[in-house]
Amino acid sequence: MFARAFARAVTRTATPRPATTNAIRAAALRRAALSTAAPSGGSSKIPIAIALIAASAGAYYYGVQSYPAIKQSAEQAKADKAAAAAEEEAPKEPEPLDYRKVAADIAELLDDVDYDDGSYGPVFVRLAWHASGTYNKADGTGGSNGATMRFSPEAADGANAGLDVARNRLEPIKAKYPQISYADLWTLAGVVAIKEMGGPSIPWKAGRTDAVSAAACPPQGRLPDASKDRKHVREVFNRMGFDDREIVALMGAHVLGRCHPDRSGYHLPWTYNPTTFTNAYYTLLQSESWKKEKNWDGPMQYTNKKGSGDIMMLPTDMEMLWDRTFKQYVKEFANDEQAWFDAFSSAFKKLLELGVQFPAEAQDIVLE
């Protein structure tokens, strides 16, 4: 009777408990009931019953006390699992772009027997030059940052005719490395092309961003006009912050490539090796006899061999000879190719970086 009363008291005051604890308690009560019902020696069995009931109560107490901890541990494990799954599914930080790999892939695009003189190198240099040569130091607009030639106002500028060829050629690189900006891609392509064609290793750094709309396009008319004179040449280059020596050094890029009637309106290459980066532009300026081209119905240009030659110079090129200051640098670079390489490398790097606010961590990369 005492055991049953005790059990009822515990039952009334207890909070809900796990099924395992109830089973232990029920077994203990059954054993106690059997013991107290024995026909003989019943009084001696009472302490045993009490002990069993006490054990049952202890087991019950332990179960009740342990249940919150067990429940909390299970909930914590569930939360940890959910957190781990969320971390695994969360977008990971992209690996830093290896620009040397990008450069190597660009180099693979240069040679093509079906394109001008077998190489896209010259048009890559022209793309980098024209994408950068719109800078205005007075208001900070233009320049390579933004890659605004992607938009119609600048892409349709007559000075940029034919550069869609270079932009399209580089699209597979952009697809392979989507994290590179077009502004970085185009300028890097110019640096790679110069190096691959035998020129200097021009330090280059990443960090340019792409504009989101045509609103960022600079006004048209900022690029050099090949038909004009030395005054125009100085206006264009001085606007960007270049001095006379830098002007002549940058003009030496005409050692590469050729003109096309359906692009610039002119025709013929400047040199006999238009895919090799040498100081031949300056040596030919000095050594050849340049006359206005005969039997040509396009814009005025100059050719060697008394006007019937197979290489040409534009009016702005001839100004490099006719202007006394410009001419002294033509002579310097014709006599010392390394001096030109150094001057060109410095000026071209400056050109590609005009107006760009690079991240603090940006560092120069020099291609080997």
How far apart are alpha carbons 74 and 79 in whole angstroms? 9
| Residue 256 phi, psi dihedral angles, 5° rounding | -100, 145
Half-sphere exposure of 127 (CA within 13 A, CB side): 32
To 10 degrees, the CA torsion angle through 254, 256, 261, 265? -20
Burial annotation 219-244 (CB, 10 A radius, 16+ → b, else e):
eeebbbebeeebebbbebbebbebeb
How far apart are alpha carbons 249 and 329 in whole angstroms? 8
Decide: 295 and 272 in contact? Cβ < 8 Å: no
Q: What is the DSSP string of 99-139?
A: HHHHHHHHHHTTB-TTSGGGBSHHHHHHHHHHHHTT-BTTT
For residue 272, the SS3 value is coil
Other Cβ atoms closer than 10 A to 188? 26
Residues marked as catalytic: 130, 270
